[in-house]
Amino acid sequence: MTNSNIKNKRFITPEKSAVLLPVLISSFISLIIVSAFVIPKYIKSNKINNEYNEYLRKKNDLPNLKAQYKIINEKLEKLNKEKYQIINLISGTSNLETFLSRLGELAVKNNINVSSISPKSSIMYVESQNSDLQNQINLNPDPLLVEGVKKYNIDFKFKAKFEDLLSFFRDLEFQENIILFKDINVTSEEENNDEKKKNTSAKLLEISLKMNVYGKI
């Protein structure tokens, strides 16, 4: 094989190298420039464009959000009014001290001879943390005991004539507090007196009962 044939078969010749080498170097430099400057600027520009589009979307949604906020605020105010109406309906505007004072006034008005008024305990509303557990053990909380209301348990013993007793209960029905009675025991005082006192105490009754009174905290 001759030297001329070997030269013809060479792919890279000095002449070709003189042309290709600057091209490769320029391409490599261009690639570096694109990677270092153009791509980051494109990513940053794309990020800014997305943020701008999100801003426009939120700006367009702002009137709808304001309308929704107004509706929610109106509903919340309505619920709060209903809540306070329920509280006032159950407890009125008085606490235990006010109720006991009014109870004494009604007793005097209706000729009630009070033997004792003994507040035993009070229960405040506690938000249920595990309603499923309550349902499993059949624990039913007091439906009248709501937020802002306190239930007072009172033992009440007194003496009264039958007509005065009815009048006294009628007056209690018109009180602003909800009052529930239980364990009512009524006996005639004449059962505990001798024959000499029967005529004077025939209509006098001895009453003992328990009251659940709902009042404001």
pLDDT digits (tens, 9 = 90+) for 16-35: 666 666 767 777 777 777 66
Residue 96 pLDDT more than 70?
yes
| Overall average pLDDT of the 67-92 stretch | 78
pTM score, two decimals?
Answer: 0.54
User: What is the token pair recorded at 124?
Assistant: 């405040």
pLDDT band at 48 (very low <50, low <70, confident <90, very high): confident
What is the tally of helices (H) and strands (E) in the chain? Answer: 7, 4
Using the predicted structure, report yes or no on whether residue 206 has a pLDDT greater than 90.
yes
**What distances in angstroms separate CA 145 from CA 83, 88, 180, one per listed residue?**
12, 12, 13
Strand order in the sheet with 179-188: 113-124, 149-161, 204-216, 179-188
Q: Which of 78, 77, 216 is nearest to 148 (CA)?
A: 216
Q: Taking residues 171-200, report their average pLDDT.
A: 74
pLDDT over 90 at 158, yes or no: yes
CA 155 distance to own-chain centroid? 33
Residue 200 pLDDT grade (very low, low, confident, very high; cuts 50, 70, 90)? very low
Residues 6 or more apart whose CB falls under 8 angstroms from that of 184 comprise: 207, 208, 209
What is the C-alpha to C-alpha distance for residues 212 and 142, in angstroms, rounded to an integer?
Answer: 11
Q: Residue 129 has what pLDDT?
A: 59
CATH topology for the 96-216 domain: Alpha-Beta Plaits (3.30.70)
pLDDT band at 83 (very low <50, low <70, confident <90, very high): confident
More confident residue, 144 or 135: 144
CA-to-CA distance for 16 and 35, rounded, in angstroms? 28
Alpha helices in 92-210 (DSSP H): 96-109, 131-136, 162-173, 198-201
